[in-house]
Amino acid sequence: MSRLNAAQRQWLADLGAIVGAGDGAVRAAATPKVIDADEARATPLPVEVLEDRRQGFKRARAQWVAVKRRAEEDLEKVKDGARMSYLADAAQYPKIEAGCGAIDEILDHLDDDLRQTLDQYAATPLRDQKKLKALGSSAIEILDRYQRFVADNALMRAIDAREFADVTVHAPVMRALKDLRSSLQ
């Protein structure tokens, strides 16, 4: 027998009262089963909890996509601002181009792997718990990789100083990754 939610137990209890107190099967089904810790871990989560988790993943995914898109736009502004600032300086311009290449590396590291994994998670049926767990683990691994990269990236922190463009990249990306990480727990 599948696990019953509170409304189903109440309905069975009401049915038992109508049928009569002597109907042990209805009364037994309406009584919640006490389970030990090992059985609780093996028991799948209720559909409502799984659906709430899926909605959380979808919200986190949407937030990540928006922050990533904004970061890409802002990084392009920084590159444009740096190029314009040193356009007339032939000696410094090659250094600026090298710096723009480093900005492109940021975009390469923050690839679409996380978004694609979260898309797959959202599209996977709730009954396929094995695949959902694998996708969730994969998303956490990708997210951890992104967090390490962003936390250690001095260029992203330097961009937040707004020397070439009035943008902030490091802080919002770190915040979005932290929020996403908490939703994947």
User: Which residues are CB-neighbours of 21 under 8 A, at least 6 positions away?
Assistant: 27
pLDDT at 161 over 60: yes
> Which range, of 6-10, 22-26, 112-116, 148-152, averages the lowest pLDDT?
22-26
- C-alpha span between 159 and 142 (Å, rounded): 24
Q: Distance between CA atoms of 111 and 62, rounded to whole angstroms?
A: 15
Of residues 102 and 13, which shows the higher confidence score?
102
Q: Where are the alpha helices (DSSP H) in 21-128?
A: 24-30, 37-42, 47-85, 93-109, 113-123
Residue 132 is given by DSSP the state H
pTM of the entire structure? 0.67
Q: Is the pLDDT of residue 149 over 80?
A: yes
Express each pLDDT in 23-80 by its tens digit: 444 344 434 444 334 443 455 677 787 788 778 778 878 888 898 999 999 999 999 9
Provide the percentage of residues in the chain whose pLDDT is more than 70.
Answer: 75
Helix or strand holding residue 144 (H, E): helix 129-152
